[in-house]
Amino acid sequence: MIQQLEIQLPAYPRGYHVIDSVLAEYLPELPKTGLIHFFIQHTSAALSINENADPSVRDDFEEVLNHLIPENEEYYTHVLEGLDDMPAHIKSSLLGSELTIPITNYKINLGMWQGIYLCEFRNRGSRRKIIVTIYS
Question: What's this model's pTM, rounded to 2 decimal places?
Answer: 0.96
65-116 per-position pLDDT tens digit: 999 999 999 999 999 899 999 999 999 999 999 999 999 999 999 999 999 9
Confidence of residue 132 (pLDDT cuts 50, 70, 90): very high
What is d(CA 53, CA 51) in angstroms, rounded to the nearest whole number?
6
Q: Identify the structural domains of the chain with CATH numbers, from first to last.
A: 2-135 (2.60.120.460)
Q: Residue 79 corresponds to which amino acid?
A: V
CB atoms closer than 10 angstroms to residue 107: 12
